[in-house]
Structure formats: C-alpha cells, structure tokens
C-alpha cells in the first residue's frame, strides 16, 4: 500500500513536466542569419524552442518593417523563392534542445492598414503571403506558426471602425465574411501543413471577456470579429491541426490557482460558445505566457528584488504554468535576452533547469522589499493616491451613468467588513456565504480599497462579509447593487443566496457592474458576502458599493 501511495505522489510531481515544453517569443527572437551563426550557443539555453523571424531584405535591419511576419497583410505579394537564402540559413542547424521552432505572424498591425474584410484583391495578397510563410515553416521543419492578434496601429477586428471608414453593412454581414476569411486562411495553411501547431498569444479568453463586457454584443467589442474568424479557422481545419491558446493574461501570474482557473475558464467556458464543440475539444489546447521582465522597469541583473519576478518567484510561476499547460509555456521579454548578447543571470537560468527536474516542487519565496513598478497596472500607490492621479476612477465618474439611469438609495458601509483569503478555493464547501456563518476570527477590512492597502499581499480567492440595512418601503421595487469596481472577478451572495457574478477575466478589474437583488433583501439588516478572485497584482473591492432602484 505504501508503495502504491509513493508511486501516486511521484506521478503528481512529475506528470506535468515529462512532456511539457518551454519556448521563447519576444524582443530577442532571432532571425535566420543570426541562427546560422550562433545556433550552437543558442542551444545551451535550457528551453525547448523559440519563435523565428524572417527578414524580407537580408541586408536590412531586424526591424518590423523588414519582418515577413509583420508584413503579410500589406500590399506586397511575396514569393516563396524570395526566401531561399533564409531557408538555406537553417539547413545545417542541428539543434539538440531548441527543436520546437515557430514562425511569427502579426496580421493586425499598421503594415496591414487598408486590409478590409470585403476587399478581394487585398485578401488574395494576404492569403498568398500566409501560404508563403507556411511553406517556409514546413521547409525548415518548424512545428508551426505563432499568431499575435493584438492591434498595433490598426484593428482588423473592430467592427465600428470598419463600418464607418470602409463599408457600411450590418454586423451580421461582417460576421459572415470574417468566418469565410478564417476558413480560407486555414485551408491555405493546411494545404501545405495539415498537422501544424498554431500558437495564439491570446484568443478565446479575449472572446469570453468581450461577451461578458458587452452583454453578448460583439458588434461593440474591440475584437468582436475575431470570434467568427476563429470559428472559421476551427470549422475548416484539418483534424491534425492543433490550436494553442497561449493566454497572454498570465504574463504576471505567480500563484498556482491563477493558472488553474485560467485553464478552466478557457476550456470549459470556451467550448460552450463555439458551434464546433467536438473540434474544440480535440484541437484546442491550453498554454500560458510568462513575461520574464514584466512591470515596465527594465531588467536588473544585480538586484533581483527590483524585478517583478525574483528567481524563486519565476521558478514557481514557470513550474505552475508547466503543470497546467497542455504542452507549451512561452517566455516573453523586452530587455532580458537569451540569445543576442545574453543577460540572464545564473539564478534565473537555474530556475529553468530546476522546473525540468522530474522531482520539482515549489520553492520558498520571500522578498526583502516591495516590488514597485512604473506600470500603472501594477501600481505601488495606495488606492486613494491612485484614484487621485487617475480622475476617471473618481466616484462621480465611476457611477455617473448609474445616477443618470437609476435612483440612488444608499451607499453600503465602507467599514465593518470581515475578510479571509481562500487559497484552496474551499469557501463554498465551508459555507462562507451562509448568513449564519461565524466569521469572528476573520480579519477586519474596509472596502473601496485594495486589500494590499491593509498589508495583504496575496493573489487568488478571498471572501468579504458585511452588513447593511434597508427600510421596508423600498422592498417592492426593482433594486440593484452597483459595484464601482472589483479587482478582478467576484460572486455576490445576499442573505445566504447567490445573487450574481462579475467575471470578464483580468480586464474586468476596473469595470463598474450591477447585480439585481430584487426580492433578495429584507427589512432591517442584510448580510452581503462577496467572493473575489484576483489573478495578479492588486485585488479586492476597491470602489464603493451603492444601492439603486428604478426611477
């Protein structure tokens, strides 16, 4: 019996690392001519692959304007023969470790300006160019393509922009055309490379965020046309094609629960919105991105406490990502370099080596000083200071639309709340939401502030319990609790009953929302319980909660 138990423990320790891979894709991604000259040194980096860039002009600089992947949607029709030298660069490269090579594609950028959904000549050029880069990938024995959908000075997927500037048609017409274009694209790719791996920096999580944020109306979403485009790709793809949801929002994740929840959301919620659930289940896989020098302060190779990730924090994040990914974790960076003038300190290199050990377990992390970033999404400021510097988050601006549409009743108390972290996500099972739950041993806290203001440096699930009183005369009306913002997701319980939730992923951290509590309140004291989930950086109920009724 003890032997069986030991085998199970070892399986839990090693099962996530045996067939999982780490790849690099960032500012240090090399070009073919660089690889030709430096592949032996590159192969010493303890990862499994990287994204490769193809120069248009071999004598030109390695910049976006000279990068094939950035120019596929432009007006130039490329020929496969134009890149024979790039292919020749890779002919004698014999990687032992860096075997998983991807070519990068950025179709949604300024170089694609003017590429519109109904422009047949421009789409013919784009599809030709997609075919060219796919042929190159196949020829050099790459495993696939990395596609970045992010808008860089142009947005192919924003319907209002295209409707106003190019072609005035209903959203349904655009949806249909986007679906067709996605179908056309994958058919061109699969004609050459049927068993290709296509790694999206982000994809289905952006769709889920938009559906929640815009109440299922993708016509208003920044990436509203990405969903029908992805559906077109999925529907027409060869059954051997694998789509990897790279999950860019995990860039700064540090705790295990964040990785686990992200996978649940993408795969369990994503399959509910597609029209092709069987193909989704078989062909869509989960991945993660980690930004090594995350935070906007550069890369300190001497004092690691100035970096967002210390070596120990990064090791744990990478270990958790490998545990939950289906195959790949990609590393992104700006100033941290692996290949060209490498500057990765030994302790960080050891983090990569350690997680590849079959017996890896999380390591102890401890900071001597608080990390302070120049990036506003990881602000070191107290909540009040942050709001003062960003007037759009002032109370009168946050609740403006609600005051115009509804009748204000009251503010919920700022103090008198109880708080408890829930790192194992067992709160529902323990009954934290129950009206009669004993919370006397919980911490005292206030709302309208991040929980970090109270010295709670934590990411994950946590619970708030509070009370407020209402009078009998409003109980027969339509009533709404309006939250100015919860960083980043939450479920709300009133008097022990589930009332509603706010869940649009990480992008929901600063979004006001309302919960319908009609028929759930009672005269006198009411118990409100809020389960909050924060995946990264600051968290909590950081804006006020107000009660409104219909005018």
Determine the pLDDT at residue 18: 56
Q: How many helices (H) and strands (E) does the chain have?
A: 17, 19
Task: Give ∠ CA 312-267-196 in degrees, rounded to 5.
Answer: 85
Q: Does position 375 have pLDDT exceeding 60, yes or no?
A: no
Q: If you average pLDDT over residues 234-245, what whole number do you get?
A: 98
> Can you tell me whether residue 472 is helix, strand or coil?
helix
Class for the domain spanning 15-376:
alpha beta
Helix (H, G, I), strand (E, B) or coil at 444: strand
pLDDT at 378: 39
> For residue range 51-73, what is the model confidence (pLDDT) as tens digits?
999 999 988 888 889 999 999 99
pTM of the model: 0.77
CATH superfamily ID and name for 383-550 = Galactose-binding domain-like (2.60.120.260)
What's residue 510's pLDDT? 87
Residues 6+ apart with CB under 8 A from 423: 255, 257, 458, 460, 461
Estimate the crossing angle of helix 311-324 against helix 346-355, to 10 degrees.
30
Query: In the Cβ-directed half-sphere of 328, how many Cα atoms lie within 13 Å?
Result: 32
E strands of 6-68, at which residues?
21-24, 49-52
Q: What is the 3-state secondary structure of 394-435?
A: CHHHHCHHHHHHEEEEEECCCCCEEEEECCCCCHHHHCCCCC
The answer to whether the beta carbons of residues 484 and 449 sit under 8 Å apart is: no
| Average confidence (pLDDT) over 372-384 | 55
Q: What is the average pLDDT across 88-95?
A: 96
pLDDT digits (tens, 9 = 90+) for 296-354: 678 999 999 999 999 999 999 999 999 999 999 999 999 999 999 999 999 999 999 99
Cβ(103)–Cβ(148) below 8 Å: no
Q: Supply the pLDDT for residue 207.
A: 93
**Beta strand 513-516 pairing with 479-483:** antiparallel
Residue 196 has pLDDT above 90, yes or no: yes
- Compute the average pLDDT of residues 404-411: 95
145, 54 contact by CB (below 8 A): no
Range with the largest mean pLDDT of 148-152, 228-232, 369-373: 228-232
Single out the residue of 332, 182, 353, 329 nearest to residue 263, CA to CA. Answer: 329
Least confident of 3-12, 228-237, 352-361, 466-475: 3-12
Domain extents in the chain: 15-376, 383-550
User: What are residue 529's DSSP bridge partners?
Assistant: 465, 493
């Amino acid at each position: 019996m003890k032997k069986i138990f030991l085998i199970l423990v070892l399986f839990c320790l090693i099962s996530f690392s045996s067939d999982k891979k780490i790849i690099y894709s960032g500012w240090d991604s090399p070009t073919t001519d660089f690889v030709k000259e430096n592949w032996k040194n590159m192969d010493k980096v303890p990862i499994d692959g990287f994204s490769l860039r193809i120069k248009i002009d071999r004598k030109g600089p390695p910049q976006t304007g000279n990068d094939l992947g950035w120019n596929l949607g432009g007006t130039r029709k490329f020929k496969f023969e134009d890149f024979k030298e790039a292919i020749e660069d890779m002919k004698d490269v014999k990687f032992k470790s860096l075997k998983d090579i991807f070519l990068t594609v950025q179709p949604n950028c300024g170089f694609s300006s003017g590429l519109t959904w109904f422009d047949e000549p421009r789409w013919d050029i784009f599809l030709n160019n997609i075919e060219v880069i796919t042929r190159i990938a196949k020829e050099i024995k790459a495993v696939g393509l990395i596609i970045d959908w992010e808008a860089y000075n142009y947005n192919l997927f924003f319907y209002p922009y295209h409707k106003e500037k190019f072609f005035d048609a209903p959203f349904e017409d655009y949806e249909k055309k986007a679906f067709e274009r996605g179908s056309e694209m994958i058919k061109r790719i699969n004609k050459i490379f049927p068993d290709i791996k296509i790694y999206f920096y982000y994809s289905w999580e952006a769709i889920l965020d938009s559906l929640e944020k815009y109440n299922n109306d993708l016509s208003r979403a920044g990436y509203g046309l990405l969903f029908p485009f992805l559906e077109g790709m999925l529907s027409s793809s060869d059954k051997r094609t694998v789509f990897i949801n790279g999950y860019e929002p995990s860039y700064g994740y540090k705790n295990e629960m964040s990785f686990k929840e992200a996978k649940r959301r993408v795969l369990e919620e994503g399959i509910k919105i597609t029209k092709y659930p069987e193909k989704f289940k078989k062909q869509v896989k989960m991945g993660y991105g980690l930004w090594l020098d995350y935070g906007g302060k550069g890369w300190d190779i001497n004092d690691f406490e100035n970096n967002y990730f210390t070596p120990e924090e990064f090791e744990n994040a990478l270990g958790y990502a490998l545990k939950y990914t289906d195959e790949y974790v990609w590393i992104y960076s700006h100033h941290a370099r692996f290949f060209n003038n490498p500057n990765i300190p030994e302790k960080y290199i050891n983090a990569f080596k350690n997680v590849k050990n079959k017996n890896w377990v999380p390591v102890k992390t401890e900071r001597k000083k608080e990390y302070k970033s120049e990036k506003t999404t990881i602000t070191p400021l107290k909540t009040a200071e942050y709001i003062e510097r960003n007037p759009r988050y002032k109370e009168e601006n946050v609740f403006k639309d609600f005051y115009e549409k509804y009748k204000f009743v009251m503010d919920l108390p700022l103090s008198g709340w109880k708080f408890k972290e829930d790192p194992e996500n067992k709160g529902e099972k323990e009954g934290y939401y129950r009206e009669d739950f004993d919370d006397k041993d919980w911490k005292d806290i206030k709302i309208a502030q991040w929980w970090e203001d109270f010295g709670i440096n934590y990411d994950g699930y946590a619970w708030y319990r509070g009370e407020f009183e209402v009078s009998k005369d409003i109980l027969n009306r339509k009533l709404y609790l309006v939250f100015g913002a919860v960083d980043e997701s939450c479920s709300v319980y009133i008097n022990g009953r589930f009332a509603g939730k706010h869940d649009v992923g990480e992008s929901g951290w600063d979004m006001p929302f309302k919960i319908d509590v009609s028929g759930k309140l009672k005269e006198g004291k009411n118990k409100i319980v809020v389960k909050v989930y924060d995946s990264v950086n600051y968290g909590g109920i950081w804006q006020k909660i107000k009660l409104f009724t219909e005018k």
